[in-house]
Amino acid sequence: MVFWRKKKNIAEQEQEERDDKLLHRDDDPQIEPSTDYEAEMGEGIKQEINETDITVIDTLEDSPVPVHTPDADKQEKEDLSDHSQEGGWLSRLTSGLTKSSNKITQGLGDILTKKKLDQAMLEDLEDLLITADLGPKTAAKIVEEFSKDRFGKDVSEEEIKLALANSMSAILEPVAKPLDVNGATAGEPFVILVCGVNGAGKTTTIGKIAHDLVLHQKKSVMLAAGDTFRAAAVEQLKVWAERVHCPCVAKDIGADAAAVAFEAYEKAKADGRDVLMIDTAGRLQNKQNLMEELEKIVRVLKKQNENLPHAVLLVLDATTGQNAFSQVETFQKMVNVSGLVVTKLDGTAKGGVLIGLADQFGLPVHAIGIGEKIDDLSPFSAKDFANSLVGVVDV
Ligand SMILES: Nc1nc2c(ncn2[C@@H]2O[C@H](COP(=O)(O)OP(=O)(O)O)[C@@H](O)[C@H]2O)c(=O)[nH]1
Ligand SMILES: [Mg+2]
């Protein structure tokens, strides 16, 4: 082992010397760092350093010895431990949805001032669901269902929570579908076009999905930087590509996004890649241009194969709340949206928007974003989401 290391070091040293020769001509003067620091130091600095040493040592000796009580030790251990990978999906989902579920559970507490379920309580419940971003239609539907067998009867907070969770789960169940990337013609990549407004989380979601495909589904993936509008957007996708170890096809800023998609498809096919994910721009301020751009990408892809793109993902930012509804409508007019990814569910109180979206559009929800990091994309489970949202602990 030691021998191998030594050999490797010799090889490295020789390489360094060769590199050095390329950088410096033989007649370059030798520049050596000075090691005689003390000689260069003035007396004043030397004295100052010595004094500082003494002061530091003095303070150290004066500092109190920590008291070791069992509680203090436990707290210290807790503070220092790394919780980032603990607990699995459910606990990360629950903690991500804390703000949304707090809003609902606190609201329920305020509503339940009396025991019997009357009209006023039902109206308050509907208002609560609307303010939790479920949207008026979905809120009305859930409340109506809830009141059916319970009107005029005693209800408890736990009963309401459970009933709400069940109604929500029933709405979510048909749309909770993981993204299946296996439908492509043999020898051709499965093509996923990713769209959404600027800042929704498209590029991040592409990175997260690619990571999951490579790591867990053992797929070979290629990315295409179809957001050619901003330099930063292309760079950001390249960084994700490096992180997840897959190639990224990119052109210059201002390049035709459809040309990027076309070239990427050709490359992915020639390379025998399983999946191609195409990033796009999201300039909704200029709807006409965006629509033309997306339509052109789709047109160019369809010339290769009528089934392309196999999936069109719309990425929605949960923090935009009710705005997400109009985003779905707008993008559905532009492209044939086949599924949704809802991002930024961590740290927003607007998580209920997902229930409304599922109810109104019935589009598959493939995954949800619960953080900015590479593995913060959770597979979407209807029951877990509904339970977490209304604070029901499933036992
Ligand atoms: N908290 C949180 N931030 C996210 C999530 N998804 C994306 N982001 C952040 O949202 C910002 C915009 O994301 P980006 O992928 O660049 O959006 P794009 O313009 O649609 O490509 C970035 O700062 C991301 O890190 C998420 O699920 N949770
Ligand atoms: Mg982007």
CB of 203 closer than 6 A to ligand 1? Answer: yes
Dihedral, 252, 255, 259, 265 alpha carbons, nearest 10 = 40
Residues 264-280: tens digit of each pLDDT: 999 999 999 999 999 99
Residues 138-167: tens digit of each pLDDT: 999 999 999 998 899 999 989 999 999 999
Name the least confident of 49-53, 217-221, 326-330: 49-53
Q: Look up residue 338 and give its two tokens.
A: 């086949």
The preferred substitution site among 345, 354, 372 for testing ligand 1, maximizing ligand atoms within 8 Å of CB, is 372
Distance 364 CA to ligand 1 centre (A): 21
Residue located nearest, by CA, to atom 3 of ligand 1: 372
Quote the CA–CA distance of 395 and 90 in Å, as a whole number.
Answer: 13
Single-letter code of the amino acid located at 214: V
For residue 236, pLDDT beyond 70: yes
Residues 62-99: tens digit of each pLDDT: 333 445 556 655 554 544 444 444 567 888 889 889 99
Ligand 1 nearest-atom number relative to CA 369 = 27
CB of 327 closer than 6 A to ligand 1? Answer: no
For residue 230, pLDDT beyond 80: yes
Query: If we measure between CA atoms, which residue out of 126, 127, 130 comes closest to residue 145?
Result: 126
Helix 231-243 / helix 202-215 crossing angle, nearest 10 deg: 20
The preferred substitution site among 93, 197, 204 for testing ligand 1, maximizing ligand atoms within 8 Å of CB, is 204
Query: If we measure between CA atoms, which residue out of 355, 366, 279, 302 comes closest to residue 97?
Result: 355
Q: What is the pTM of this model?
A: 0.79
For residue 4, pLDDT beyond 60: no
Residues 190-209: tens digit of each pLDDT: 999 999 999 999 999 999 99
Residue located nearest, by CA, to atom 4 of ligand 1: 372
Quote the CA–CA distance of 76 and 161 in Å, as a whole number.
Answer: 36
Residue located nearest, by CA, to atom 14 of ligand 1: 201
Q: Between the ranges 10-14, 40-44, 172-176, 346-350, where is the mean pLDDT highest?
A: 172-176
Distance 218 CA to ligand 2 centre (A): 25
Distance 209 CA to ligand 2 centre (A): 14
pLDDT at 1: 39
Distance 343 CA to ligand 1 centre (A): 7
User: First CA to last CA across the chain, in angstroms?
Assistant: 53
Distance 306 CA to ligand 2 centre (A): 27
- Are 380 and 155 within 8 A, CB to CB? no
Mean predicted confidence (pLDDT) in 96-109 = 92
What number of other Cβ atoms are within 10 A of residue 55's Cβ? Answer: 10
pLDDT at 199: 94
Quote the CA–CA distance of 305 and 209 in Å, as a whole number.
Answer: 24
Quote the CA–CA distance of 29 and 152 in Å, as a whole number.
Answer: 95
CB of 200 closer than 6 A to ligand 1? Answer: yes
Interior angle at CA 100, CA 124 and CA 172, nearest 5:
85
**pLDDT tier for residue 256 given thresholds of 50, 70 and 90:** very high
**Residue 223: strand pairing partners:** 248, 277
What is the number of alpha carbons within 13 Å of residue 110 lying toward its C-beta? Answer: 11
Ligand 1 nearest-atom number relative to CA 279 = 21
Quote the CA–CA distance of 326 and 333 in Å, as a whole number.
Answer: 11
Which ligand sits closest to the CA of 342?
A: 1
Single-letter code of the amino acid located at 92: R
Interior angle at CA 232, CA 227 and CA 238, nearest 5:
75
- Are 213 and 275 within 8 A, CB to CB? yes
CB of 372 closer than 6 A to ligand 1? Answer: yes
pLDDT at 89: 81
